[in-house]
Amino acid sequence: MAVEGSKAAPRGLEGVVATTTAICSVEDGKLQYRGYSIDELAGKAEYEEVAYLLLNGDLPGKEQLRDFKAELTKHRTISPFLRQILQEMSESGTAMDVLRTVVSASAAEDPAEGDNSREAEYHKSIRLTAKLPTILATYIRRRRGEQPVPPDAALGHAASFAKMAGLAHPRAAEILNTCFILQAEHGLNASTFAARITAATLADMHAAVTAAMGALKGPLHGGATDGTMKMLDEIGTPDRVEAFVERGFATKYKFPGFGHRVYVTTDPRAKHLRKFAMDLAREAKGMPPYFEIQEKLVEAVNRRRQFPVNVDFYAATTYTYLGIPADLGTSIFAIGRMAGWCAHIMEQHGDNRLIRPESEYTGPTGKRWVPLAER
């Protein structure tokens, strides 16, 4: 029962401003990291530059980038303790289960565990950003029954991951570098909000990142790549798109990869991934016509309703063409997002207040306790 005169918050807190941030601006059709449009970064910068930007406030100079890369490279290797957890979990755990658990466990060996100072958290950010690709690549190898491949100090962030994960496509490193940039930060999305809520209790960075990973696992936030590929496989051929869309609208089917809470007309990240999917489709041999199905699907859906595709729609096919199984899409996303999560955790701790919203009670009132014998 609502209290008289009260005003309920919108469902899902849509449109509610929960905090201020200098990290990222998200508007319909526009995405900026620290004032830089995503179009200024994607396809031009290295992921390491963007990670530095998010953590430090501006792009690095040559010496700053050199030192930052050296720090990342130094911390890529994972300990025997973490390798043992990976080995045991990889038998049955999903990628996100493994990432979340290993990241959480890494707090036990972090030299600055419990220290929430900016300097300590900056170095934690580097360690977490550096280790996550190694953790995921080790998991990918393990589930294929292969021995892990160590990080390559001569390669950049994306290229080292591609080598460790065994991605043979000649464009894998280049494309993944841009994917990591596109996914590096996105304002107060569900996982970032979960991270900031956790950080606001003065829990440490590892706890906050673990909370973010738990939120990212949910299909309404990070699982659309897997769902998109399942949808495309179900459609099968371009000539079946119209019937699928008709049936989908009739049954209120939620088309994976379509729609976004903020982007009403255009997701500015999608065009970059569409270009990759289109280029890779031309080269693909012996694969279903996924990109052709996607293009017809977008056309058919938008004839009925303005419904933009989001970042996951073309990421799904891009990853598939690179040889990355669809169920790994969310974990790839996490590699890119790590720097963004860490930046938000540092920002929260830098000017902290416990995040504790109110709720509107809608249940009964005035009930009286009745002895058990009389119920």
* DSSP string computed for 162-207: HHHHT---TTHHHHHHHHHHHTS--SS-HHHHHHHHHHHTT--HHH
The residue whose two tokens read 């994972």 is 78
pLDDT value of residue 306: 86
pLDDT value of residue 7: 64
Amino acid identity at 26: V
Of 213, 197, 183, 196, whose CA–CA distance to 106 is shortest? Answer: 213
pLDDT value of residue 5: 52
The 10s digit of each residue's pLDDT in 309-330 is 988 999 999 999 999 998 999 9
pLDDT value of residue 183: 96
Which residue among the candidates 204, 226, 267, 312 is catalytic per the annotation? 312
CA 115 from centre of chain: 26
pLDDT value of residue 212: 97
Question: Does the predicted model carry a pTM greater than 0.85?
Answer: yes
pLDDT value of residue 317: 96
pLDDT value of residue 6: 55
Angle, vertex CA 267, rays to CA 262 and CA 271, nearest 5: 175
The answer to whether residues 85 and 100 touch, using CB atoms and an 8 Å cutoff, is: no
Asked about 312 being catalytic, the answer comes back as yes
State the first-to-last Cα distance of the chain, in angstroms, to the nearest integer: 24
pLDDT value of residue 3: 45
Radius of gyration of the chain (CA): 22
CA distance 191 to 215: 5
- The parts of the chain modelled with pLDDT lower than 70 are 1-8
pLDDT value of residue 1: 40
pLDDT value of residue 180: 98
117 conformational bin, left if phi > 0, alpha if psi -120 to 50, beta if neither: beta
CA distance 315 to 8: 37
The domains located in the chain, with CATH, are: 33-221+329-350 (1.10.580.10), 224-321 (1.10.230.10)
Which residue among the candidates 260, 272, 344, 349 is catalytic per the annotation? 260
